Structure 1
Amino acid sequence: MDYTKFMTERSKARNPSAIRALIPYMNREDMISLGAGQPNPETFPFESMTVKLKSGEIMEMDPQLFQRALSYDLTSGLPPLNQWLRQLQTIEHAPPCDFDISVGSGSQDLLTKALEMMTDTGEAVMVEDPTYTGALAFLETLNCTLAPVATDQYGLVPDALESLLANWPATNPSGRQDQSRPRVLYTIPSGGNPTGISSSFERKKQIYDICHKYDIMILEDDAYYYLQFDEKRIPSYLSIDVDGRVLRCDSMSKILSSGLRLGWVTGPKPLIERMNMHTMVTNLQPSGLSQLMAYELLKLYGHQGFFEHVHRVANFYKEKRDLFVECLEKHMKDYAEWVVPQAGMFVWLKLKGIKDSQDLIMTKAIEKKVVAVPGLAFMPINKVTPFVRVSYSNVNQAQMDEALSRLAEAIAEANECK
């Protein structure tokens, strides 16, 4: 594929940093470097690092890697971590096409760099309706047109995507007839934020075929992939990518620690290179110490141990989901409709008798001391909506029960006031 057509002129204009380009040589023992402006590690006060796991195990950082992690390193990530993640992608997804990997400061860092790389000012980008508010907030800064694609309980609706592309520009939400057809589809296929919906494998195959037909890049934002509740995970877009048209973002935030601020992107080498160029001129690299902590843990686990770990994490959230649904049935069945999520942390409530959830959630619910997120925050095109996003990830059963009781009261009172 010719990937230059998916790159903005701004992205293509970035060149490798003259100094950053030398970093691969600086860690070689046979090299004497006079080129780096690196501070001398002898001035650093840190000698070693150990971490105690909840299992009771003491994890001691490899001394050489620890010293390396204290200094500048490769833009694409600590090499042993990068390699471990490359092996993980091969084991889990077995991508049909050749791919490259880069580590970033959280998947949000990588997601925004991918969107910036592929979205020029005035262009149109296809997004799910509704979609992640963090992506919407960034896309607003790019001065682009958002082209929403309908979703249902099985994920993106193929007919809606086909119709949008086949009838463009008549289907352009902006009304502009001179705007080119979108080149990028942004999707959250597992435990979607905000809907909690997971795309079925059949839907993914249909969506991929449509993207092949119209030459569309798929930006697969899959932070909740390992939080699927069924024993067998639904295969990713990356796993069926015979064209090399999937750029996939994964996150350690939901499975290891959100404070580590680590994610990784997988996809065609030319696009990964462009994203690395972006990192070179912004944050240089992800945190060395965060990467080392993650790598030492993953090395300790091994890939099989990692799969066992994410299985435990998924079961943890599944148990919370089950308790939350019980509380929903108890308090909310007269006031809302919902689809039971099969992954992730969220339930998308459609309130009954309420046209606009904004005031209800931001005023009445707050007065009753319960916090939820009004659906307007997730709408690609601002519109009145009865939807509300609620999360069960950080509440116990008693808190779930009380919070949904309070929310039900707020809805009942709002309906009585009409």
Structure 2
Amino acid sequence: MAKQNGLGNICRIQYEKYFSKLARRTKSSVLRDAAEASELKNKIIMSGGYPSPEIFPIISSQLTLRDGTVLKIDEESQKDSLQYCSTWGMDDLRQWLKDFQKKIHNPPSVGEDKHPGEMELMITAGSQDGISTGFQMLIDEGDSVIVQNPTYPSVFSMVERLGGSTVGIDSDKHGIIPSKMRTLLENWEISNPVNKNAPRPKVLYCIPTGENPRSASWSFERRQAVYQICREFNLLIMEDDPYYFTYFNRPLPRSMLSIDEDGRVLRFDTFSKVLGPGLRIGYLTGPRPLVGKLMLLYQTSTSLACPFSQVIIMTLLREWGVEGFIQQCDRTAQFLKEQADYLLLTANTYLSDVAEWEAPNAGMFLWMKMKGFEDTRGLVKRCKEEGLLLIEGVYAIPGGTMSPYIRIAFAIASKQQMIEACKILAKVSKELRGIPEN
């Protein structure tokens, strides 16, 4: 059990114990430190290698919104958008996002100056870049990361390239099954399926809302139960929540960050699903010691998130305010719900005899179990030959060798394409199983 400190019912976390060897070796970059906005105010700048704005070919720009509104990016803002900025992110956007996180999630550490895990925020070049850097900060060769089963396939590559491994905990429609997580951790030395000599895990990676690939969302009771287990076994939590604002219902679910009394949650958000992935802007929120160390790693890798994209987003947020941004998120969620509803209607018409599924409640995917298949790689290959692209379920299974599932993405398909896709999937499924078509 972690020790409690004098700030109430919280567990004091010794963050340094979680850092990888790489993170411990990483020091501040002199050149990146020179780019901090607080260091540049009212100074003669002859330190950093800043290109002169006089040579920038773009002096202003404008954004035309779907409702016809035209937003101007003035000359001064345009200069900032084309120049280097702080690794932390541009001050105005970062402050807006800090206030937004407090409003939406209200982490228990907010306002607690003496809290060792007081909230900090950093802007990243998309949430995945932040997640990848987070693993670099925490994982050494031989370490294990606890993940839900199934989970986002790219995480396997992020962890394995560091010499680590992922260990999956079975999930149901309410989230990770706490009893299975507890059993694994209580009996780690004998139940670890990957490496019997691996040290106890120190990180849980999870997608609690609209999880990829199932588009299911954890119940609040599951979030609480998993958080308590992480407290008992001293795990940090990497809460990857790109689909949070796509949740089909309101109010939005409580996040892991919102119940983080200790300062053990590192939360990753993104604008990709509600504004556009091409902007490549995400933001991570968590305890200052973790976010600060991650920032040092970022200084000498990605360096900074695109200032032009940050200015575009800040221009939108100034126009919309919090209420307008939430309305954009609500429109996105409603659109995805309508897409999901139509796919479910179509699947019920064409696929009910060859597959089974749970209706998604957020996100962009339908996780479908194909009847009569131990593995779907052959099925997906045949569907591709028929002009339909799908993802095989095995790639979302930690250490997986076979899976009867497929992942169907429904966000950009038209209604006619959904109908055609279901027809192809039904035809190929019956063909491979030797079932004559009606």
> Which TM-score bucket, shorter chain as reference?
over 0.9
Counterpart among 214, 220, 232 of residue 239 in structure 2:
220
Cα pair distance change 1:298/1:25, threshold 3 Å: closer
Partners of 1:25 and 1:31 within 8 A in 2: no
Q: Pairwise mapping of residues 226-245 of structure 1 onto structure 2 (< 5 A)?
A: 226-245=245-264
| Contact 2:156/2:165, CA 8 A, preserved across alignment | no
1:56 counterpart = 2:68: yes
Letter in 2 for 1:193: N
Task: Determine the structure 2 residue equivalent to 1:324.
Answer: 343
Rounded to whole Å, the distance in 2 between the matches of 1:326 and 1:230 is 19
* Counterpart secondary structure, 2:98: helix
Q: Gaps spanning 5+ residues in structure 1: where? A: none
Structure 2 contact 37–85 (Cα < 8 Å) conserved? no
Name 1:188's counterpart in structure 2: 207
1:138 equivalent in structure 2: 158
Is the 1:355–1:384 Cα contact (8 Å) retained in structure 2?
Answer: yes
1:153-302 mapped onto 2 (5 Å cutoff): 153-176=173-196, 178-302=197-321
1:383 matched to 2:395? The reply is: no
Work out which of the residue numbers 13, 18, 24 in structure 2 matches 1:6: 18
State, as a whole percentage, how many aligned pairs show the same letter: 33
What does residue 103 of structure 2 align with?
Answer: 91
Within the candidate set 362, 370, 374, 1:351 is matched to: 370
Structure 1 residues 42 and 80, CA, compared in 2 at 3 Å: closer, same or farther?
Answer: same
The CA distance in 2 between the partners of 1:101 and 1:213, in whole Å, is 26
Deviation at 1:27, TM superposition (A): 6.6
Residue 367 of structure 1: which of 367, 382, 385 is its match? 385
- Following superposition, the deviation at residue 400 of structure 1 comes to 0.5
Separation of aligned partners in 2, 1:40 and 1:175: 54
Counterpart amino acid of residue 192 in structure 1: E
- 1:401-416 map, 5 Å: 401-416=419-434
- Which of 131, 138, 146 is residue 118 of structure 1 equivalent to? 138
CA–CA separation in structure 2 for the residues paired with 1:398 and 1:305: 32
Deviations 1:175-208 (CA, angstroms, capped at 9, x unpaired): 41x3211000000111111111111111000000
Deviates more, 1:197-206 or 1:36-45: 36-45
Alignment partners' CA distance in 1, 2:267 and 2:434: 47
The answer as to 2:37 corresponding to 1:17 is no
Shift of 1:26: 7.1
Distance 1:291 1:202, change over 3 A: same
Q: CA deviation at 1:275?
A: 1.2
Query: Aligned with 1:146: secondary structure?
Result: strand
Do the aligned partners of 1:26 and 1:33 also contact (CA within 8 Å) in 2?
no
Any unmatched runs of 5+ in structure 2? 1-12, 110-117
2:407 is paired with a residue whose SS is: strand
CA RMSD of aligned residues (A): 1.3
Per-residue CA deviation, residues 194-243 of structure 1 (Å, 9 max, x unaligned), is 11111111100000011011111010000000000012111100000001
Structure 1 runs (4+) greater than 6 angstroms displaced: none
How far off is 1:64 after superposition? 2.1
- 2: CA distance, partners of 1:307 / 1:182: 37
Residue type at the aligned position of 1:137: S
Whether the 8 Å CA contact 2:270–2:281 is kept in 1: the answer is yes
Q: CA deviation at 1:171?
A: 1.1
Change in CA separation of 1:285 and 1:175 when aligned onto 2, cut-off 3 Å? closer
Distance 2:195 2:103 in 1: 45
Any idea what SS the aligned residue of 1:266 has?
Answer: strand
Q: Deviations over 1:127-164 (max 9, x none)?
A: 11111011112222111122111111111111111111
Q: Does 1:109 align with 2:129?
A: yes
State the AA in 2 paired with 1:374: E
Q: Is the 8 A contact 1:100 1:267 kept in 2?
A: yes
Aligned with 2:418 (options 383, 400, 409): 400
Distance 2:403 2:46 in 1: 61
Match of 1:100 in 2: 120
TM-score by length of structure 2 reads: 0.93
* Distance in structure 2 (CA, Å) of the matches to 1:22 and 1:367: 55
Correspondences of 1:29-44 after superposition (within 5 Å): 29-44=41-56
Q: TM-score, normalised on structure 1?
A: 0.97
Residue aligned with 1:23, SS: coil
Q: Alignment partner for residue 167 of structure 2, among 147, 158, 161?
A: 147
Q: How many equivalent residue pairs?
A: 416
AA in 2 matched with 1:194: P
